[in-house]
Amino acid sequence: MSAVSGGGSEFPSVRSSRDDRLYELAGRITERDRLICRLLFDHRVLTTSQVADVAFHSLRKTQERLSVLLAFGVVDRFRPRSWSGSSPNHFTLGPAGAQVIAAERGVQPSDLGWRREVRTALATSRHLSHLVGCNGFFTALIRASRGGADFALDEWWSAARCADAWSVVVRPDAYAVWVENGFRLPFCFEYDNGTEPLARLEAKLPGYAKLARAAKHPTWVLFCFPSAAREAHARRVLIHPEVPVATATVAPGSSAEGPVWQTVGEGGPRRRLAGLGHPDRALSLVAKTKTQGPRPP
């Protein structure tokens, strides 16, 4: 998955009727603008730096274009309250952006299930930081893959799309497919911000086991943690004979395609994301752990 470059001149700074503004928008919106609309529709909210990750090469250009899109109602903007310092601008899909998505799909905006008040409710949601952190994990992967690299984020499903597909058995924060040098690594993703008890993380694994049995093959489950200490404690409980698990500690804004991953049941140097290999390798490690006793986390 990569950003699509887009050109085009700026929208005129004039006030006109709603229909005239939509006609003007249709003639001047770029492929990059459409990419931003799709991501905001699918993933609900992105910060300025996350939009830069996927679509631009500088923060200044990102801010300039977002200001134009904001003026035309393509995006909405809010800045959540912060108890320490200031928060970055957060962007959601605006009404004109919903029109763009509807036109691409050949439906009416009302058919999308998009509601502006639901999006703006994110500003005060207690789940906002989790959603932004999860999205930032993936936009950093996209940033790393831009510019002709031999790896890419080929698919990225939101939590809502995962719930539509699998909510009866499991609700991951995301599902994605990472491709590197022709090797495809599908994975379910769990973003941990340190607020859930470890028992709740452990309780997710039977659902992933049910998903593996239904799919007739195992799929990696990757857990991302905010600190090395949290990761070390979690690794002690994230063990299941049918679920291949790998963990990492990733700082906000950092990309996780490099050697930050460690399979549960394995010690030694950490691996690149693609270096995790086939999930059967992880299951064999878990089986050895069961027979030989636990390894150090």
Per-residue model confidence as pLDDT tens digits over 246-291? 999 999 999 999 999 999 999 889 999 999 999 998 898 887 765 5
64 and 94 belong to one structural domain: yes
Per-residue model confidence as pLDDT tens digits over 31-77? 999 999 999 999 999 999 999 999 999 999 999 999 999 999 999 99
Cα distance between residue 7 and residue 55, in whole Å: 12
Q: What is the pTM of this model?
A: 0.88
Cα distance between residue 280 and residue 266, in whole Å: 13
Domain boundary (99, 125, 151) is at 125
DSSP 227: S
Domain residue limits at 182: 129-292
255 and 238 belong to one structural domain: yes
133 and 277 belong to one structural domain: yes
Res 28: pLDDT: 85
Residue 11 in any domain: the answer is no
Q: What does the block give as tokens for 265?
A: 């049941």
Residue 277 in any domain: the answer is yes
Which of helix, strand or coil describes residue 125? coil
User: What is the per-residue DSSP string for 230-295?
Assistant: HHHHHHTT--BTTB-EEEEE--TT---SSS-BEETT--SS-B-SGGG--HHHHHHHHHHHHHH-PP
Domain boundary (110, 125, 140) is at 125
- 281, 263 contact by CB (below 8 A): yes
Residue 237 in any domain: the answer is yes
Q: pLDDT band for position 18 (50/70/90)?
A: low
Angle of the 48-55 helix axis to the 31-43 helix axis, nearest 10:
130
64 and 115 belong to one structural domain: yes
Res 60: pLDDT: 97
Residue 249 in any domain: the answer is yes
